[in-house]
Amino acid sequence: MDKLEELGVREETNVVILSDHGMAPQEGNLWMVLTRYLDPDLLDLAVEKAAYTSVALTDTSRIDEAMAMLEGWPGVDAYRREDIPDHLKFRDNELVLDILVCMY
């Protein structure tokens, strides 16, 4: 911004900051099948967007059971909506349902 100011073009310049959201090259199978780790009977809705999936349960009283199933999934972190870390900036997103599943 200092250089734009120095050149006298700061007020006429739009600055756009882009991010790849942490995508990195991966080896091997990139398919991750949710129902291999989560009982399909618990799954009401899954909204997938790139490296995350938001899951709605058929019975939210079984969220502890669902979280236990997801804990053993390598390369994945799963959070209850209220436990999503602040740095992810997802907790208040309307697309986040009962559980957020993040692939890394």
Distance, in Å, from the CA atom of 96 to the CA atom of 91, rounded to the nearest integer, reads 7
Distance, in Å, from the CA atom of 95 to the CA atom of 33, rounded to the nearest integer, reads 20
Residue 33 pLDDT grade (very low, low, confident, very high; cuts 50, 70, 90)? confident
Domain with 42, as residue range(s), is: 32-104
**Can you give the pTM of this predicted structure?**
0.68
Question: Is residue 23 in a domain?
Answer: no
Between residues 22 and 6, the one the model is more confident about: 6
Between residues 47 and 24, the one the model is more confident about: 47
Q: Give yes or no for a contact between 41 and 58, defined as CB atoms under 8 angstroms apart.
A: yes
Which tens digit of pLDDT belongs to each residue from 34-62?
888 899 999 998 888 778 899 999 999 99
Question: Is residue 5 in a domain?
Answer: no
DSSP letter (8 states) at residue 93:
-
Burial of 28 (0-12, 13-18, 19+ CB in 10 A): exposed
Alpha-carbon separation of residue 35 from 15, 41, 45, 63, 92 (angstroms): 42, 9, 12, 15, 26
44: domain CATH number is 3.30.1360.180
